[in-house]
A and B are shown apart, each in its own frame.
Chain A
Amino acid sequence: TQLLEQSPQFLSIQEGENLTVYCNSSSVFSSLQWYRQEPGEGPVLLVTVVTGGEVKKLKRLTFQFGDARKDSSLHITAAQTGDTGLYLCAGVLDSNYQLIWGAGTKLIIKP
């Protein structure tokens, strides 16, 4: 059973467009992280959100944690080719502190 549903699985858009990636669950998380992974390397942490309703901005990236701490979104404004990569969300379950991963969104930004 996939506890953290990430969508879309794959996204290919033109440079300059906006996009949103979602992570949804029926479980409550004490915190949720977003990672970006380049081919052949390990994922690298982008941001951690810990408070329901929290919004964090990292340049053109906006991360939001749902009010009930069950879902999160990543919005990229004016995507650039350098944003290409695999984006992963991961949540720490409130019940047992286990780290649960989404399946990832493969993002390709075309010039």
Chain B
Amino acid sequence: SQTIHQWPATLVQPVGSPLSLECTVEGTSNPNLYWYRQAAGRGLQLLFYSVGIGQISSEVPQNLSASRPQDRQFILSSKKLLLSDSGFYLCAWSVVLGGFSEAFFGQGTRLTVV
């Protein structure tokens, strides 16, 4: 069965520090991978998605970047965090089969920039 691992679960970082959140998927090949950010009690904002190794699409201009060094690994990074980067970050994967796609999520990372 497929599983997705996302870490860390919580993170407190000072303003100006770097960030690296990692996500790995097991049990599937060539998944679509996503990074989302979610404000408290609200919907999901797509930050980045990737359809293959080294292929990254950015949805929202921001202080963040993403990389996909391996087929099932997706990394969210920042060189210098801002206070506004605080939030709940979710990694997800999906496989599109004839227009049918379901997203499966990691447990999320609660990032607080202080």
69-114 of chain B: CB within 8 A of chain A: 88, 90, 92, 94, 96, 98-108, 110
Q: Are A42 and B106 in contact (CB under 8 A)?
A: yes
1-48 of chain A: CB within 8 A of chain B: 6, 30-31, 33, 35, 40-45, 48
Q: Are B90 and A92 in contact (CB under 8 A)?
A: no
Q: How far is the CB of A70 from chain B (nearest CB, A)?
A: 15
A35 to B44, CA, bound (A): 12
Q: A61 within 8 Å of B by Cβ?
A: no
Q: Are B104 and A45 in contact (CB under 8 A)?
A: yes
A45 to B103, CA, bound (A): 8
Residue of A whose beta carbon sits closest to that of B101? A92
Q: How far is the CB of B23 from chain A (nearest CB, A)?
A: 11
Q: B19 within 8 Å of A by Cβ?
A: no
44-90 of chain B: CB within 8 A of chain A: 44, 46, 88, 90
Given A42-B92, A42-B106, residue A92 in contact with residue B44 (CB < 8 A): no
Q: B27 within 8 Å of A by Cβ?
A: no
51-106 of chain A: CB within 8 A of chain B: 86, 88, 90, 92, 94, 97, 99, 101-104, 106
Given A40-B108, A41-B107, A42-B105, residue A97 in contact with residue B92 (CB < 8 A): no
Q: Are A33 and B106 in contact (CB under 8 A)?
A: no
Q: Are B43 and A30 in contact (CB under 8 A)?
A: no
Top-8 shortest CB links A-B = A42-B105, A30-B99, A103-B43, A104-B43, A101-B44, A92-B101, A106-B41, A97-B96
Known: A43-B103, A104-B41. 20 other contacts (CB 8 A): A31-B101, A33-B102, A42-B90, A42-B105, A42-B107, A42-B108, A43-B44, A43-B105, A45-B102, A50-B100, A86-B41, A88-B43, A92-B96, A92-B99, A92-B100, A97-B96, A97-B99, A99-B94, A99-B103, A101-B44
Interface residues of B, Cβ cutoff 8 Å to A? 34, 41-44, 46, 88, 90, 92, 94, 96, 98-108, 110
